[in-house]
Amino acid sequence: MKHVNQQAYSQSIIQSVAFHSNAQVAMTAGLDKTICLFQIDGKINPKIQSVYLNKDLPIYRAIFNSNWTEIIAAGQKKYFYSFNIEARSIDKSNGIYGFMDFKINR
């Protein structure tokens, strides 16, 4: 198989790669604050879409939620972002209730 992100290389180090369980889709995210989705075909792997978190959060970890409809992106801050894939909307969460000092370690 070709590189997952050969159609849109990251501008920095990729920190997270995840594969959708029901679709042939891969997600990459990294320190360039960008989440990219790719259609996995084993040849070209075209980019479906990318989202730049025009925020102050380099992404250290990104995962699909349990419904596979959102991507949760976190970094070294107390908050995280959720990206709704279908609505193409970004929401900020101010952290996890009860974990005032929570942050993702490198």
Would you tell me how many other CB atoms lie within 10 Å of the CB of residue 6? 13
For each of the chain's 106 residues, which pLDDT tens digit applies? 557 766 666 778 889 999 998 889 999 999 999 999 999 988 888 899 999 987 688 999 999 999 999 999 999 888 899 999 999 999 999 876 665 555 555 5
DSSP string, 37-69: EEE--SS---EEEEEE--SS---SEEEE-TTSS
What pTM was computed for the model? 0.81
CA-based max dimension of the chain: 46
Q: Which CATH number fits domain 14-93: 2.40.10.480, 2.40.100.10, 3.40.50.150, 2.40.420.20?
A: 2.40.10.480
Sequence ranges of the domains in the chain: 14-93
